[in-house]
Amino acid sequence: MIGVFAALALLATPAEAPDWFRAYQYAAKSSPLRGCAECQGEPDDVCEVRTGSQSRALDEYMRLRSPAPGRVKLLRSKADPDCAVPAAAFFGPRGTVELAAIRLARAPPSAALLDRFAVQFSISGWPRAPQRRKGLQPAPAQPDREGLRTALVCWGSERGWPASGLGPGSSCEWWLLPVRADGEPELSRPAFALLALSDRWPESFRFGDPRWPRAFDRSSPLDEPILLGEDRARPETAVAVAPPSPPSPVAAHALARCAGEARAGAAVLDRFDQWEAQVVGARRSLDRFSWTLDAGAWSGHCQELDVLRSALERQLGCALGQEGRCLGASGLGELAR
């Protein structure tokens, strides 16, 4: 039972690890795209994406993303005007610019890590998104540890991130990415697949995969025990110190029903999704449009739902709707608060 620990994980704002996810945009060659600056009905104009990379802290990028539906906002230098391009084409198989949320370790990988995963298959430069790999084939190569960093790469998509926060709908992969001496991307050197499958490409998995809970914890560094099997953190032990009692739930009558845009940041909702993935699997019970919880999805975990829901409503400052019933372990219906 995650109880107090889940509520704390949702309510607390832990210190963010220096290597937490950043939004990276990169291109191997200059690409002329078409998009709009204000997106208030003006025609699209040419937005040149130059060779190289740009990045922003994840929360900063989410605050700056385009409010226009069906558009993705490009990362631009301060000298360039804003540009939001159609997401369908940008993330399509013929797209030439990559956008991903990436956690990049701060130290080179150890020889033990390379040996453990028999790292040997590389591609030229930072990886293309999975839908753009037709005709590409990783080739054997010898990795240069000092110029590589372990990276958790979660790909952007038309309907997932960045249109919504990172969550189980986001597809991720493990890579060793080449970097310069200052830690910035080095797009001219080879990247290596971690957890390579028979086709030599890395295994794809969902954001929040319970095999690596600390990899998705913003307060934990991206260190090697996560991948070497030494990371066995469970939701029950994720918080080192627990207070004597759980936070007091906010009385339902004191809160108005959530409507429109809730006042919580994306990080709060992402933490709810991560706990949900660890407790009931990779599914979303919270409809962020109607702000309604599917209580049936939490059957067998009704107490956890009750605590998490109270914590989430406290952060949102409004009450969630509910549909369905949460069934207890006995099979009897329990209505979650």
Q: Domain ends where: 217, 237, 256?
A: 217
Is 235 contained in some domain? Answer: no
Q: Domain ends where: 196, 217, 238?
A: 217
Q: Is 10 in contact with 311 (CB distance < 8 Å)?
A: yes
**DSSP state letter for 252:** G
Rounded CA-CA distance 40/193 in Å is 42
Same domain, 255 and 164: no
The pLDDT tens digits for 95-131 are: 999 999 999 999 999 999 999 999 999 999 999 999 9
Rounded CA-CA distance 85/68 in Å is 10
Same domain, 102 and 121: yes
CA distances to 92, 254, 304, 336 from 131, rounded to whole Å, are: 7, 48, 37, 41
The pLDDT tens digits for 16-69 are: 788 999 999 999 999 999 999 988 889 999 999 999 999 999 999 998 887 788
Q: Which domain holds residue 108?
A: 22-217
Is 240 contained in some domain? Answer: no
Q: Domain ends where: 179, 198, 217?
A: 217
Write phi, then psi, for 298 (nearest 5 degrees). Answer: -100, 15
Q: How many domains does the chain have?
A: 2
Rounded CA-CA distance 97/101 in Å is 14
Is 284 contained in some domain? Answer: yes
**Neighbour tally for 230: CB within 10 Å:** 9
**Neighbour tally for 155: CB within 10 Å:** 23
Is 236 contained in some domain? Answer: no
Same domain, 201 and 307: no
6: enclosing H helix or E strand:
helix 3-11
What is the b/e burial string over 183-210, where b = at least 16 CB atoms within 10 angstroms of the residue's CB? eebbbebbbbbbebeeebbbeebbbbbe
Same domain, 90 and 183: yes
What is the b/e burial string over 125-145, where b = at least 16 CB atoms within 10 angstroms of the residue's CB? bbbbbeebeeeeebeeeebee
To the nearest whole percent, how much of the chain has pLDDT over 90? 55
Same domain, 190 and 85: yes
Same domain, 50 and 187: yes
Which pLDDT belongs to residue 249?
Answer: 43
The model's confidence at residue 321, banded by pLDDT at 50, 70 and 90, is confident
Is 322 contained in some domain? Answer: yes
Same domain, 210 and 285: no
The model's confidence at residue 265, banded by pLDDT at 50, 70 and 90, is low
Write phi, then psi, for 34 (nearest 5 degrees). Answer: -125, 130
Is 143 contained in some domain? Answer: yes
Is 46 contained in some domain? Answer: yes
Same domain, 169 and 271: no
Check pLDDT > 50 for residue 324: yes
Same domain, 200 and 319: no
The model's confidence at residue 236, banded by pLDDT at 50, 70 and 90, is very low
Check pLDDT > 90 for residue 217: yes
Q: Is 228 in contact with 249 (CB distance < 8 Å)?
A: no
Same domain, 39 and 173: yes
Same domain, 211 and 84: yes
**DSSP state letter for 236:** G
Tokens of 254: 């004191």
The pLDDT tens digits for 164-187 are: 999 999 999 999 999 999 999 999
Mean pLDDT, the chain, integer: 83
Rounded CA-CA distance 23/67 in Å is 17
Which pairing describes strands 148-155 and 171-178: parallel, antiparallel, or unpaired?
antiparallel
Which pLDDT belongs to residue 233?
Answer: 42
Which pLDDT belongs to residue 107?
Answer: 94
Rounded CA-CA distance 241/264 in Å is 25
Is 177 contained in some domain? Answer: yes
Same domain, 90 and 165: yes
**pTM for the complete prediction?**
0.66
